[in-house]
Structure 1
Amino acid sequence: MLAKFRPLMATAAKAKPPSALSVSTAAERDEYPQYNHTDACRHLRWTAKESYEYMHARPWSRVVDFYAMLVRTGAGTAGLAEMFRKDEKDHISGTDGEDFETSSEKQMAVASSKARGGRWERLNFKIVLSYHGGSFDGWQKQPDLNTVQGLVEKHLGQFVDERKAKQLQERSLPIEGCATVAGRTDKGVTALQQVCSFYTWRNDVKPSDIKDTINEAAPDKLKSLFVSEVSRQFHPNFSAKWRKYLYIFPLDQDAEPISGKELSSIILENPEYNVTCRSFDVAKVDKIIRKLEGKLLSYKIFARDTQASRSDGPATECFMFHSRAAVSKLYSADENFKEGTKVMCIELVADRFLRKMVRVLVATAIREAAAGAEDDVLLNLMEATCRRATAPPAPAEGLCLADVGYEDFNKHKCFIVD
Structure 2
Amino acid sequence: MLAKFRPLMATAVKGKMPPAVAASTAAAAAAAEREEHVHYKHTDACKHLRWTAKESYEYMYARPWSRVVDFYAELVRTGAGAAGLAKLFGKDESDYTLDTTQEACLTSSEKQSPTISSKDRGGRWERVTFKIVLSYHGGSFDGWQKQPGLNTVQGLVEKQLGKFVDERKAKQLESRSLPVEGCAVVAGRTDKGVTALQQVCSFYTWRRDVKSGDIKDAISEAAPDKLKPLHVSEVSREFHPNFAAKWRRYLYIFPLDEDDKLILGEDQTPQILESSEQSIIPQSFDVAKVDEIVRQLSGKTLSYRMFARDTQASRSIGPPTECFMFHSRAAVAKLYSSTENCKEGMRVMCVELVANRFLRKMVRVLVATAIREAGAGAGEDALLKLMEATDRRATAPPAPPEGLCLVDVGYEEFDKQRCFIVD
1:98 to 86, 97, 101: 101
Secondary structure of the residue aligned to 1:166 is: helix
- The whole-number CA distance in structure 2 between the counterparts of 1:328 and 1:246 is 12
1:393 aligns with 2:398: yes
Q: Cα deviation per residue 1:201-231 (whole Å; 9 max; x = unaligned)?
A: 0000000100011001000000000000011
- The whole-number CA distance in structure 2 between the counterparts of 1:302 and 1:52 is 15
1:154 aligns with 2:154: no
Secondary structure of the residue aligned to 1:339 is: coil
Given that 2:261 and 2:283 are in contact with CA atoms closer than 8 Å, whether structure 1 keeps it comes out as: no
Q: TM-score, normalised by structure 2?
A: 0.84
Given that 1:320 and 1:348 are in contact with CA atoms closer than 8 Å, whether structure 2 keeps it comes out as: yes
Where relative contact order (Cα < 8 A, 6+ residues apart) is larger, the structure is 1
Larger-gyration structure (1/2): 2
- The whole-number CA distance in structure 1 between the counterparts of 2:128 and 2:276 is 72
Alignment match, 2:77: 72
Residue 34 of structure 1: how far off its partner (Å): 2.8
Aligned-partner residue type, residue 210 of structure 2: V
Q: TM-score, normalised by structure 1?
A: 0.85
Secondary structure of the residue aligned to 2:245 is: coil
Alignment match, 1:202: 207
Alignment match, 2:309: 304
Q: Cα deviation per residue 1:134-179 (whole Å; 9 max; x = unaligned)?
A: 0000000000100000000000001000000000000000000000
- The whole-number CA distance in structure 1 between the counterparts of 2:216 and 2:342 is 32
Query: Which runs of structure 2 are paired with 1:239-254 in the superposition (5 Å)?
Result: 239-254=244-259
1:61 aligns with 2:69: no
Query: Which runs of structure 2 are paired with 1:113-124 in the superposition (5 Å)?
Result: 116=118, 117-118=121-122, 119-124=124-129
Residue 40 of structure 1: how far off its partner (Å): 2.2
Query: Which runs of structure 2 are paired with 1:4-403 in the superposition (5 Å)?
Result: 32-93=37-98, 97-98=100-101, 101=103, 107=109, 116=118, 117-118=121-122, 119-255=124-260, 274-306=279-311, 314-334=319-339, 339-403=344-408
- The whole-number CA distance in structure 1 between the counterparts of 2:165 and 2:186 is 18
Residue 234 of structure 1: how far off its partner (Å): 0.4
Given that 1:289 and 1:378 are in contact with CA atoms closer than 8 Å, whether structure 2 keeps it comes out as: yes
Given that 2:48 and 2:278 are in contact with CA atoms closer than 8 Å, whether structure 1 keeps it comes out as: no
- The whole-number CA distance in structure 1 between the counterparts of 2:185 and 2:115 is 21
Secondary structure of the residue aligned to 2:280 is: strand
Secondary structure of the residue aligned to 1:275 is: coil
- The whole-number CA distance in structure 1 between the counterparts of 2:73 and 2:249 is 19
Given that 2:48 and 2:280 are in contact with CA atoms closer than 8 Å, whether structure 1 keeps it comes out as: yes
Residue 395 of structure 1: how far off its partner (Å): 0.1
Alignment match, 1:13: none
Aligned-residue identity in percent = 74
Residue 313 of structure 1: how far off its partner (Å): 7.0
Residue 253 of structure 1: how far off its partner (Å): 1.4
Identify if the C-alpha distance between structure 1 residues 112 and 153 changes in structure 2 by more than 3 Å, giving closer, same or farther: farther
- The whole-number CA distance in structure 1 between the counterparts of 2:408 and 2:283 is 33
Given that 1:34 and 1:389 are in contact with CA atoms closer than 8 Å, whether structure 2 keeps it comes out as: yes
Q: Cα deviation per residue 1:393-412 (whole Å; 9 max; x = unaligned)?
A: 00000000000000000001
Secondary structure of the residue aligned to 1:93 is: coil
- The whole-number CA distance in structure 2 between the counterparts of 1:254 and 1:109 is 61
Given that 1:129 and 1:195 are in contact with CA atoms closer than 8 Å, whether structure 2 keeps it comes out as: yes
Secondary structure of the residue aligned to 2:43 is: coil
Residue 93 of structure 1: how far off its partner (Å): 2.8
Residue 350 of structure 1: how far off its partner (Å): 0.0
Given that 1:106 and 1:230 are in contact with CA atoms closer than 8 Å, whether structure 2 keeps it comes out as: no
- The whole-number CA distance in structure 1 between the counterparts of 2:180 and 2:249 is 33
Task: Note the residue ranges of structure 2 that are not aligned, 5 or more in a row.
Answer: 5-31, 263-270
Identify if the C-alpha distance between structure 1 residues 208 and 300 changes in structure 2 by more than 3 Å, giving closer, same or farther: same
Identify if the C-alpha distance between structure 1 residues 142 and 408 changes in structure 2 by more than 3 Å, giving closer, same or farther: same
